[in-house]
Amino acid sequence: MNAAGDLLKASYAECHRASRRSGSTFYAGFLLLPTERRRAMEALYAFLRQTDDLADAGLPGPASRDALTAWRASLRGALDLPSPELSTDAGLPLCLPALADTARRFQIPHEHLFAVIDGVEMDLNGRRYETFEQLESYCDRVASAVGLACIHIWGFRGPEAFRPARQIGVALQLTNILRDLKEDAAAGRVYLPLDDLRQCGYSVDDLTHSVVDERFSCLMELETSRAEQLYRDGAELFDWLEPPGRRIFGLMTATYHELLRKIAARPAEVFRRRVRVSRLQKARLWIRWALCPPQRFF
């Protein structure tokens, strides 16, 4: 194998290591894919992890923005090469040759990858969202864009897959937002729409101080019901996926839906601890989606 081939092999190996180290819920799903698609998902995940890490590095705002600008330029450089193997001379971060190879092989629109960086950059501004429609714009970048990239790796039939893929992305991100309410509020980040807080008579100050009362219950009922509907609408994606993608989609979505169910059942828990799906529950879900015939869960 030549030097360029060695670099691409090393890039995929680094993405594999990064995915395994993460302990992510998503990694178990990768094991349900054929080898080539699994390697592609590892490359995509490594890119997403590094993008998040740049924003979470604790650098001052301008330094974080500069880091993301440089990362965006590196991504553009990798994707613009006629072949990822030419990255031998490009001095690219190690995960990017594998990502560029994945994007080429599976025809992932580059706009989805750049959208993820744009979404992470939105977090640096500490902005708040007046309406759910504004929050959706953020979710589209940090979550739905990921889902749209994923379905190119998994395989799908027709553009009808795009709408439910976007809805599932928003559902997953909203679930994350609800789980992380306390942590985010402590850091000055409020993602829930301010219109929703006002509708329930709850305030940002109440959220910061972890106030639990009937107003909080109203707010959580509103948000968990919205997320539940997004899961139900997005479940249609199953019908448009090729068989290799149905198991991983089912596992990922079922796991996050179980997390939402736990939050909805005991909303105040988000202020007491990090709500999780237990290892036993995850194992049961993995066995169900690995061994049983895949079918829609809604």
- In this prediction, residue 290 carries a pLDDT of 92
Q: What tens digit of pLDDT does each residue of 134-182 get? A: 999 999 999 999 999 999 999 999 999 999 999 999 999 999 999 999 9
Q: What tens digit of pLDDT does each residue of 32-81 get? A: 999 999 999 999 999 999 998 887 756 666 888 888 999 999 999 999 98
Answer whether 103's CB lies under 8 Å from 124's CB. Answer: no
Side chain identity, residue 131: T
Higher pLDDT, 86 or 285: 285
Q: Which two tokens stand for residue 276?
A: 């999780």
CA separation, residue 85 to residues 18, 61, 189 (Å): 21, 34, 41
- Does residue 84 surpass a pLDDT of 70? no
Q: Name the percent of the chain lying above pLDDT 90.
A: 77
Q: What is the mean pLDDT of the chain?
A: 91
Helices (H), the chain: 3-22, 25-30, 35-55, 61-80, 96-106, 110-124, 132-139, 145-154, 162-179, 181-186, 194-200, 204-208, 214-234, 237-240, 243-265, 279-291
Answer whether 295's CB lies under 8 Å from 65's CB. Answer: no
Higher pLDDT, 6 or 60: 6
- In this prediction, residue 244 carries a pLDDT of 87
- Does residue 89 surpass a pLDDT of 60? no
Please, which pLDDT band fits residue 3 given cuts at 50, 70 and 90?
A: low
